[in-house]
Amino acid sequence: MLLGSSACAARYQLRDAELKEARDQQSLGRLRVYPSNRTVSVYDEEADKSVTVSSEIRQRTSRVRRKRILKLSTEGAIVGEDQLNGAPLLWVTFDGQCMEPACAYGFVRTEDGRYRLVHVPERVGFAPPKVHRGIAVKRRRMTRGNLRALAEANAVYRVLRRSGPKTVFLEVKKDIRKRTRGSSEREPGVGRTP
């Protein structure tokens, strides 16, 4: 009974129309966006090396590896807007402590109208992140590049597959209800005429 009464919002890709509606209502900061796929950013600290020379040379390295995981259910907020090579760029934070573009993810609008991942924030003291789509394995590692044509203005994070490049883009939840109130009346008819 509860499942039938609760409404569930469907997910749609973020388009300029939704952004315009949020701007018109002055609620761009309250709009919640979600990644289209699970995304894992891997940060490696610079390795500490130790070398011991005796009858043999022993090299030991140790490093710290940190991961940032964005799940499909991770809510994000738009904290800034910018331009990147003439295309709109949205700065989205998925962390409540970060409210500025310096620590946010960047999503740029591509030619098909989707806002795709173009920038992942860096961590101080760590190497630039390795970004993975889904899980952190070599086959799923994303690299920066053009989607379809070399003439595209911006290089986005993508994984190349036979079926085409796979990316991460922004989605929004929409609860669309279309109600129609109807009424009916019977026609009385013209009746019999003499």
Over residues 166-181, the pLDDT tens digits come to 999 999 988 878 888 8
Pairing verdict, β 115-119 and 130-133: unpaired
Q: Which residues contact 6 (CB under 8 A, 6 or more apart)?
A: none
Q: Is 7 helix (H, G, I), strand (E, B) or coil?
A: coil
How far apart, in whole angstroms, are the C-alpha atoms of residue 46 and residue 85? 33
pLDDT tens per residue, range 15-36? 998 899 989 998 888 899 999 9
pLDDT in tens, the chain (194 residues): 334 434 567 888 999 988 999 899 988 888 999 999 999 999 988 766 677 777 788 877 777 889 999 999 999 999 999 999 889 999 999 998 988 998 999 999 998 889 999 999 998 888 899 999 999 999 999 999 888 777 677 889 999 988 888 999 999 988 878 888 888 888 877 876 65
Cα separation, 124 vs 133, whole angstroms: 23
Measured torsion, CA atoms of residues 65, 66, 72, 77, in degrees rounded to the nearest 10 = -150
Answer whether 0.85 is exceeded by the pTM. Answer: no
d(CA 42, CA 165): 21
- Whole-angstrom CA distances from 165 to 69, 77, 118, 129 are 21, 26, 14, 20
